């Protein structure tokens, strides 16, 4: 198991996350894809820490912080989602055009 393996896995995860975020019609799916990209980043952090600085645990620590922040972010996201759903009665992204200016 070298660093390359980890990076390959994390890249795939990231790409899947991007793809999902760009293509999913359901907002829940978009949020899940975003979680995938978070986790790809976390995996990178942990892997770089493990291979480049084996003695320390800064990367892992940072990964845990990221998970925390991600959890909080998901909370905010779901809360917004609920609010939008109540107003528009839909969870499809293409129906949301509040940003149109």
Footprint on this chain of another protein (rule: CB under 8 A): 18, 21-23, 30, 93-94, 96-101
- Backbone φ, ψ for residue 92 (5° rounding): -85, 130
CA distance linking residue 61 with residue 48, whole number of Å: 12
Least gap, CB of 44 to another protein (angstroms): 15
Q: Indicate the residue among 64 and 74 with the shorter CB distance to another protein.
A: 74
Least gap, CB of 11 to another protein (angstroms): 12
Residue found by looking up tokens 């800064």 in the block: 58
Q: Indicate the residue among 1 and 94 with the shorter CB distance to another protein.
A: 94
Q: Indicate the residue among 61 and 88 with the shorter CB distance to another protein.
A: 88
CA distance to 23, 29, 87, 88, per residue, from 98 (Å): 19, 19, 12, 11
């Amino acid at each position: 198991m070298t660093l390359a393996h980890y990076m390959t896995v994390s890249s795939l995860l990231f790409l899947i996350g991007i793809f999902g975020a760009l293509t999913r019609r359901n907002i829940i799916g978009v949020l899940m894809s975003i979680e995938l990209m978070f986790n790809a980043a976390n995996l990178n952090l942990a892997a770089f820490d493990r291979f480049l600085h084996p003695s320390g645990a800064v990367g892992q620590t940072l990964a845990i912080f990221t998970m925390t922040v991600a959890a909080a972010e998901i909370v905010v996201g779901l809360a917004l989602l609920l609010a939008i759903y109540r107003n528009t009665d839909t969870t499809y992204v293409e129906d949301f055009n509040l940003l149109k200016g």
